[in-house]
Amino acid sequence: MGYMKRFCLALVLPIFIGPALAAEEQVETAEPPLIIDGETADISEYLWINRPVIVFSDSPADPRYVQQLELLNALPDDLRDRDVIVLTDANPEGKSALRKKLRPRGFMMVLMSKDGTVYLRKPFPWSVREISRSIDKLPSRQQEVRDRRETVTQ
């Protein structure tokens, strides 16, 4: 009888425990949002953690703003691999901290390094490929790639 109980438990427990473990894994591996409202964002939250890409516009209906967000949403994994976080601000009347610091005029896309330095400013939309190339040229990104290679080979 004891053998039969253990056998049944071995068959039944995975049925109940398996989905619970899978759900727990999904919660832990949930991706953080890629695009965040930049009007209330504090850029210091992202120092040494993320590379902010900030997209400014005078209106959410600006075709360049819409196109830039579409381009960024097309390849989110490429941006996440490079620790990019996208902050948006399409309200010039709001006078956000980002607007005061970066002083955009109309549409502007800004790429910042992890240390908070403005790396580039563009008055027109850029593809994820172009942004990725620029990030990959940064010394900090090159060091990250070397560090990842070393941990993989160990």
Give me the pLDDT at residue 58, please: 97
Percent of the chain with pLDDT over 70: 79
Residue keyed to tokens 């967000």: 69
Give me the pLDDT at residue 153, please: 80
Low-confidence winner among 8-22, 55-69, 77-91, 92-106 (lowest mean pLDDT) = 8-22
CATH number of this structure's domain 35-153, picked from the four choices 3.40.30.10, 2.102.10.10, 3.40.50.300, 3.90.1300.10? 3.40.30.10
Q: Whole-angstrom Cα distance, residue 12 to residue 23?
A: 18
Give me the pLDDT at residue 30, please: 61
For residues 39 and 6, which has the higher predicted lDDT (pLDDT)?
39
Give me the pLDDT at residue 13, please: 44
Asked if pLDDT for residue 72 goes beyond 50, the answer is yes
Q: Whole-angstrom Cα distance, residue 25 to residue 19?
A: 10
Give me the pLDDT at residue 23, please: 47
Q: What is the pLDDT of residues 10-53, one digit of tens each?
A: 554 445 455 544 444 444 456 667 899 999 999 999 999 999 99
Give me the pLDDT at residue 99, please: 96
- Per-residue confidence at 154, pLDDT binned at 50, 70, 90? confident
For the chain, the domains span 35-153
Average of per-residue pLDDT values in the chain = 85
